[in-house]
């Protein structure tokens, strides 16, 4: 079963259970996945990551604007989307990947950060946020 088929099945289950918010969020995901497929077969996980990031950014904006009710709703949707993504890498696993990327690229100073980030992000394969990776790369190259 593909990811889109799984989400469509989850929409049906949520409809049967009367979970309106969940149905709406899942339908939006299905729509985005179908749109990406029509536009050239974008990676399904990349679409999910993008949508989760949008929800987290919206939650932050709502919270800054004093709309905690909407921020909570956006965070719940981001968490729902996160359930379809592979598990995040632990700090130790991420540090190991960065160390390997530093070794492979022969980086020795912060000005080599671009090449290390490229290698590390390829190895991470979406299982960690770019900000986390960037922070560890900076720490490794500076220290």
User: In this predicted model, which residue has the larger pLDDT, 63 or 126?
Assistant: 63
| pLDDT, position 10 | 93
Asked if residue 107 and residue 69 are part of one domain, the reply reads no
Residue 68 and residue 11 in one domain: yes
Question: What is d(CA 132, CA 101) in angstroms, rounded to the nearest whole number?
Answer: 15
Q: Are residues 27 and 47 in the same domain?
A: yes
Whether the predicted pLDDT of 140 surpasses 70:
yes
For residues 84-95, b (16+ Cβ closer than 10 Å) or e, as one string? beeeebeeeebe
| 125 SS3 class | coil
Q: What is the pLDDT of residues 71-117, one digit of tens each?
A: 999 999 999 998 888 888 888 888 898 888 888 888 788 888 888 88
Select from 58, 135, 7 the least CA-distant residue to 143.
135
- Which residue range(s) make up the domain with 45? 3-82
Judgement on whether residues 111 and 44 belong to the same structural domain of the protein:
no
Domain stops at, among 32, 52, 82: 82
CATH of the domain at 96: 1.10.10.410
Asked whether the predicted pLDDT for residue 142 surpasses 90, the reply is no
pLDDT digits (tens, 9 = 90+) for 17-61: 999 989 999 999 999 988 988 887 667 888 888 899 999 999 999
pTM of the model: 0.72
The per-residue pLDDT for 65 is 93
The number of folded domains in the chain is 2
Return d(Cα 139, Cα 27) in angstroms, integer: 41
- The reported pLDDT for the residue numbered 74 is 93
In Å, what is the CA distance from 27 to each residue of 7, 39, 56, 72, 137? 8, 18, 18, 19, 37
Task: Please give the pLDDT value at position 133.
Answer: 87
């Amino acid at each position: 079963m593909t990811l889109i088929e799984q989400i469509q099945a989850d929409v049906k289950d949520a409809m049967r259970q009367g979970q309106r918010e969940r149905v709406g969020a899942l339908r939006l995901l299905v729509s985005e996945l179908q749109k990406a497929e029509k536009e050239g077969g974008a990676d399904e996980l990349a679409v999910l990551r993008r949508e989760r990031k949008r929800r987290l950014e919206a939650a932050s904006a709502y919270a800054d604007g004093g709309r905690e009710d909407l921020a909570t709703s956006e965070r719940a949707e981001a968490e729902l989307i996160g359930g379809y993504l592979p598990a995040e890498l632990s700090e130790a696993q991420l540090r190991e990947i960065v160390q390997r990327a530093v070794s492979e690229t022969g980086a020795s100073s912060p000005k080599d950060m671009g090449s290390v980030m490229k290698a590390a992000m390829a190895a991470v394969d979406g299982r960690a946020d770019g900000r986390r990776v960037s922070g560890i790369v900076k720490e490794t190259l500076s220290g």
